[in-house]
Chain A
Amino acid sequence: MAESGKIKLTWNTFPGIWQLREGPRLLGLMIVLAWMQCLYCLVFRFDRIIATFGMSPFANREGFQHWQALLTVVFVPPLLAFLGRKTPPLPRYGKSNWALVRERFNYSGTAQFGLCFIVQLYLVFFLAAYLAPMGFDTQPDAVMLRLKPPLEAGYLLGSDRYSRDVLSRLIYGSRISLSIGILAVSLSATIGTLVGLIAGYYGSWIDTLLMRLVDLLLSVPRLVLLLVMLALFKAHVDPEWLIYLIISVLAVTGWMGTARIVRGEVLSLRERDFVQAGRALGFGQIRLIFRHIAPNCLAPVIVSATLGVGGTILVEAALSFLGLGVAPPVPTWGGMVTDGKEYLTKAWWLTTIPGLLIVFTVTCFNLLGDGLRDALDPKVVLHKQVEHGLEEEAEAE
C-alpha cells in the first residue's frame, strides 16, 4: 500500500466508503449512515449544539440528553472511523478465534443488515435531543393542528390528538424501549449464566434445586407473572423509579432460558480434559468456573441475549400497551400504539407507524441473533461460504 510518510488520498482511505466498494457492503452502509446522522446534527442543529454549553448535564433530564447527544456527535464518528479502518489481510492460518468469527459474520448479509440498523437506532437513541424536530410533549396548537396526517402542516409523520409530533415522540420513545431492552437482557443474561454455571458445575442437590426453580418460573406464563408483579408494586413506587422496577421485573422473569442452555454446556465442559487438567494443577473453583468454563459457553449466551433483546422489547411494548409501562407523558412505542387505538380508523398513522418501528427493531435483533448463531458455531457451513467455494476451507478450520 502507501509508502511510509506518503498518504495517498483515494476513496479507499475513507472508512465506510471502501467497504461500500469492496464489501462487506452493509457494514460500510452502517458507517456512512452513522456519519450522516452526526453530520445532520452538526449542520442543521448547530443552534442546539451551542445551546448545550449553557446547560448543566446533571440538573435535569433535558440537559443530560443534550450533553449525551453532544458527546455522541464528538466521539462516535472518529470511533467508527477507527473501527472501520482498512487493515492488512490476516494470514491464511493462525487467525484468532474472534477473527474467524468476524470473517464468518462478514459472509452473512442478514446479520449485517440487523447490525447496521441496530447501530442507527442506538445513534438515534443517543442523539434524540438533537434529531427530534420538537420536544416529546410540545403542543404547538392543540385545536388547529391535532390529528394531522403525515407530510401535512410540517409534520413528517403526522401529529396526535394533542398536536404533538409523532416523529419526535418516536425518537424520544426509542430511549425507553431500547434502554429497557438492553439493560433487562444484560441483567437477565448475567443471572441466567451464573445460575447455569453454578447448577452445572456443582451438580447434585444444588442442580436439582435450581432447575426445579427454573421449571417453576417457566410454568407461569411470563406476561401473567409480570402483570401480577407490576400491578402489586407499581402504586408504591415513585414514577421516576418505575423504569428501574420494570427493568428488574423483566430481568427476574427472563433468565430461565439462558440458565438452561448454560447448564447444558457446563455439564459437558466440566468433564473435558482441559478442565480436568486445571483441576489436577490445583486451580481454585472460582478460577476454573470463570476463567476456563465460562468463556467456553459464551457463544450460546450471546445468541440467546441478542434474540432476547427483541423479545424484551416486545414484552415492554405489551406492558406499555396495557398501561403498566413508564408513565405518560414520557413516550414509549407500545404506549403510542395504545394512544392511537381510539383513532384506529380516523388516524391510521398513530398506531401503524410506532408498531412498524417495533417490528423493524425486533426484526433487526432477530436477524443479528440468527447471524451470530451461525457465525459463532464453527460447525455450521455457511451458504455463502459454499457459494464462494470456501467449503473445504471451512471444513479444514
Chain B
Amino acid sequence: MTTFIVRRLLIGVILLGCVAVLLFVLQELSPYTAADLYIRPDFPPVAIDQITKQLGLDRPPIERFGKWLWAACQFNFGRSLHSGEPVSEMVLTALPNTLLLSVVALVMIFVFGVLVGVFQAVKQYSTSDVGLTFVTLFFYSMPSFWLALMLVMIVSWLAGGQWPIFGMHGDEIQIKLSAIQEALSHGRAPPTSIGFFEYWTDVGQHLLLPAISLGIPPIAGVARYARSSMLEVVTQDYVRTARAKGLSNRVVIFRHALRNALIPVITLLGLYLPFLMSGAVLVESIFGWPGMGRLIVDAIFTMDFPVVMATSLLLAVLVILGNLVADILYTTVDPRIRYG
C-alpha cells in the first residue's frame, strides 16, 4: 500500500511538472506578454526596454521557466501584476473557500445520487424509476450558471431580499472580521469576537445556493452508476441469504447490498473533481464566492499571468490528489482489491 501511494505521488509530481510546462508553453505561444500591461504605444524605446528588463522578459524562455519553477517549488509565485500582492497569499486565502464549497457539493452529489440510484434499483422499471431518470437527466443537462441564476431569481422572489446571495459573509460579520484582521496585523488585541455558531450560520447561509447549483446537476451520473451496480449486487447469493435469514428489506439493502454497490461509485469521486472545479469557476463568479474559480476568472480577464499560472497549477494539484484519494478509498472499501 505504501509503495503504491509513493509511486502514485511520484507520478503525480511528474504530471504536475508537465502541466507547468504546458501552461508555460501556452503563455509563450501567446502574442500577448506581461509587458503589454504596462507599455503604451507612445512610450520611448528606452522605457520599453526598461520595463521588459524589469519583468525579466529579455531572458531566454528556458531560463525564465527554470526560475519560475524553482520559485514555485518553494511556493513563491511572484506578485500579482495588478494588485502587487504576493500570489501565494492570494491563493492561500482562496483555497480553503473553494475546498469548502466543493466538499459540500461533493457530499451532496454522492448522498443524493446514491439515494436516488438505490431507490431506482429497488423499484426497477416502475413509473418512479423512469420518472427519476428523466428528472435527474433534466438537471444533468442544465448549465450550472443558469441553475445559479434561476436560484437567485427564485430565492430573491421568495425571500424578498432577506436571504443573502452575494459573497461569503454578511455585512456585520465582514465588518467585525476586517476589524479583527487589522488589529492583529498591528499586534493589538482584537476589539470584538465572533461566536463560532454565529460565524458558521452566516457562512452556511451564503454557502447554500452555490453548493446547490454546483451539486445538483451531476447527480444523474452517480445515480445511474449506483442503480446499475445495485441491480448487479441484489441478485447475488449473499443478498438472498440475508433475505432468507429474515432480515428486513431496509437492513438487506442498506447494510448488506449497499456496501458492495458503492465500490464502483467511489471511482467516480476522482472523475467528478475536475468537473466540480470547472463548475466552481462559473458558480463562484456568479455568487461572488471568494475562491479559486473567481480568482482565476478575474486573473484571466486582466491578463494577470502569475495568478493564472499559480491557480491553474493548484487546481491540477487538487485534481491529482483527489484521484489518489479515490484510489485509496477504493481499497479500503473493498478489501478484495490490493495494489502492489
**B26:A228 contact, CB within 8 angstroms:** yes
**B26:A229 contact, CB within 8 angstroms:** yes
Q: When the two chains form the complex, which single residue of B23, B150, B285, B308 contacts A355, counting CB atoms closer than 8 Å?
A: B150
B319 to chain A, nearest CB (A): 5
**B19:A318 contact, CB within 8 angstroms:** no
* Complex CA–CA separation, A358 to B145 (angstroms): 12
In A338-393, the 8 Å CB interface with B consists of 341, 344-345, 348, 351-352, 355, 358-360, 362-363, 365-367, 370, 383
Known contacts A224-B296, A224-B312, A358-B146, A219 near B274 by CB under 8 Å: yes
Known contacts A318-B143, A359-B141, A222 near B278 by CB under 8 Å: yes
- Chain B residues engaging chain A, CB cutoff 8 angstroms: 15-16, 18-19, 22-23, 26-27, 29-32, 125, 137-138, 140-146, 149-150, 152-153, 156-157, 274-275, 277-279, 281-282, 285, 296-297, 300-301, 303, 308, 311-312, 315-316, 319-320
Check A39 for interface membership: any CB of B closer than 8 A: no
A367 to chain B, nearest CB (A): 7
In A212-229, the 8 Å CB interface with B consists of 212, 215-216, 218-225, 227-229
Give the chain B neighbours of A366 by CB distance below 8 A: 137, 140-141
**A348:B153 contact, CB within 8 angstroms:** yes
Specify the main secondary structure of chain A where it touches its partner. helix
Q: When the two chains form the complex, which single residue of B27, B143, B277 contacts A224, counting CB atoms closer than 8 Å?
A: B277
Q: How many of A's residues come within 8 Å of B, CB to CB?
A: 44
**A351:B316 contact, CB within 8 angstroms:** no
Closest 7 pairs between A and B when the two form their complex, measured CB to CB: A232-B30, A362-B141, A223-B278, A355-B146, A221-B277, A363-B141, A231-B300
Q: A212-B18, A310-B141 are in contact. List 8 more A-B contacts (CB 8 A).
A: A220-B22, A220-B316, A223-B282, A228-B23, A228-B26, A337-B149, A358-B146, A359-B141
A–B pairs, 24, beta carbons within 8 Å: A212-B15, A216-B19, A221-B275, A221-B315, A223-B277, A223-B278, A223-B279, A231-B301, A232-B26, A232-B29, A314-B141, A322-B282, A337-B143, A344-B152, A345-B157, A348-B153, A351-B149, A355-B143, A358-B143, A359-B141, A359-B143, A362-B141, A366-B140, A383-B125
Known contacts A222-B274, A345-B156, A366-B140, A321 near B15 by CB under 8 Å: no
Residue of A whose beta carbon sits closest to that of B286: A341
* Complex CA–CA separation, A352 to B142 (angstroms): 12
**B149:A344 contact, CB within 8 angstroms:** yes
Residue of B whose beta carbon sits closest to that of A362: B141
A158 to chain B, nearest CB (A): 15
B312 to chain A, nearest CB (A): 5
